[in-house]
Each structure stands twice: as C-alpha cells, then as structure tokens.
Structure 1
Amino acid sequence: MLIGELAARTGVSPRLLRYYEDQGLLGATRGTNGYRRYDDEAVTTVRQIRALLAAGLSSEVIRTLLPCAVGDVPDLKPCPELVATLRRELSAMDDRIDAMQRTRAALAGYVPPGE
C-alpha cells in the first residue's frame, strides 16, 4: 500500500509515517516510481509504535522493543534485554516524576495561602 493508504488506515499523517521510517521504526520499499510501499503488517507496526509512544517510550527504545511486540496493543513477548530495558525506563520515569514533584513543591511555596 502507498503512504496515503497507510495514513488513512492508521490515522497517522504521512509526515509522521516518514518520521517513523527515518527513526528505523517502520520499513518501506520503493517502487520504480520512487513511491514508498508498505506491506499489510505496517498497519500493526504503526499501531504498536503509537501504543508504545503513549506509554512514554522514546523512538530509540521502541526500536529495540518492536521485535518483541505482537498484536496491535501490543503484547511484548520475552526477548533479550526486554525486562532490563523496561525496568530502566520505569526507573528513569520515576526519577523525572520525583524531580517534577520537588519542582512543584518549590513553585507552590511562592503561592500565597488561600489563593
């Protein structure tokens, strides 16, 4: 299928699909006319990418996890480094949450009581 059809089937803009390809998340072949062509699995891949992005993962991490992804949701099957990668991401997210809570408390200290 061409990029426009993939965009229509996934609700993702062609520009974003090209970005996913540039990031190594989505594969395409080129026709003799130079147009990108995607196989039917690309729909599932795009849905997996969107779900993993919504979970707060970077495109770099998603690139390492996609081989472990099965289905649209996706389910992650065991593969090398999967658990270690997810634990590392959770730890980094916890660190960011802690930092934001400290920043919020500092900012709240500047708000006069009762306002």
Structure 2
Amino acid sequence: MRIGELSRRTGASERALRYYEKQGLLTTGRTAGGHREYAESDVDKVALVQRLIGAGVPSAKMAEIFPCVFGGHSKPTVEVIADLRQERERINGMIDDLVASRSILEGMIAEAEVAAGS
C-alpha cells in the first residue's frame, strides 16, 4: 500500500510515517516510480509505534529493539533489555499515578453530586 493509504488506515500523518521510516521503525519498498510501498503488517506496526510514543517511549529505544522483535536480525543486548525494563517501570509509575488521579476525581464527583442533590 502507498503512504496515503497507510496514513488513512492508521491515523498517522504522512509526515509521521516518513519520520518513523527515517528512525528505522518502518522499512519500505519502492515502486518502479519511486513511491513508498508498505506491507499490510505495517498497519499494526504503526499502531504499536503510536502507542509506545504515547507512553513516552523514545523512538531511539524502539529503533534498538525493533530489529530483534520484527525479523530477528539481531539479539537484544543486556543494555537494551535493561532500558526496556526501565521504560516498563516508568510506565507502571504513570499507571499508578493515573489510577490515583482517577480515584481523586471519583471522590470529587461523588461530593459534587451530593452537594447538587443528584
């Protein structure tokens, strides 16, 4: 598929897709006319990249591990595994903070509803 279709199917801008390619997160083929050609599996890969970016994982860290996960071209180093564990712990902390914030909001909503007589 071409870049426009991948953009439509994933919600990622064409600019973002070119950036992911530049960072080594996506690989593309080229048509005879030089247009980028993406595989069907790239739809899921872009979704993964977007989720990880949304969680604050730097693209450089993704670029280190993706060759190991997608294609098995190399084995992750001890450092890469340690970085991934650190990212996991950072995300777990974010989740804990969000759960605590939700709990506070639930309390505020309950108090507001009582005050409003709902």
Query: Which of 1 and 2 has greater Rg?
Result: 2
Count of residue pairs the alignment pairs up = 85
Counterpart residue type for residue 5 of structure 1: E
Counterpart residue type for residue 69 of structure 2: C
Which position in structure 1 is the counterpart of 2:36? 36
Which position in structure 2 is the counterpart of 1:68? 69
Would you tell me which structure has more helix in proportion to its own residues?
Answer: 2
- Work out the CA distance in 2 between the residues paired with 1:6 and 1:90: 28
- Work out the CA distance in 2 between the residues paired with 1:89 and 1:46: 19
Identify if the C-alpha distance between structure 1 residues 28 and 87 changes in structure 2 by more than 3 Å, giving closer, same or farther: same
| 3-state SS of paired residue (2:16) | helix
Could you state the TM-score of these two structures normalised by the residue count of structure 1? 0.63
Q: Which segment is superposed worse, 49-58 or 32-41?
A: 49-58
- Work out the CA distance in 2 between the residues paired with 1:22 and 1:89: 23
Give the alignment of 1:5-16 within 5 angstroms: 5-16=5-16
Unaligned regions of 5+ residues in structure 1, if any?
70-78, 94-115
- Work out the CA distance in 1 between the residues paired with 2:81 and 2:55: 15
Could you state the TM-score of these two structures normalised by the residue count of structure 2? 0.62
Q: CA RMSD in A?
A: 2.4
* Percent of paired sites with the same residue: 41
For residues 25-53 of structure 1, the C-alpha deviation after alignment (integer angstroms, 9 at most, x for no partner) is: 01111100010000101101101101111
- Work out the CA distance in 2 between the residues paired with 1:26 and 1:61: 14
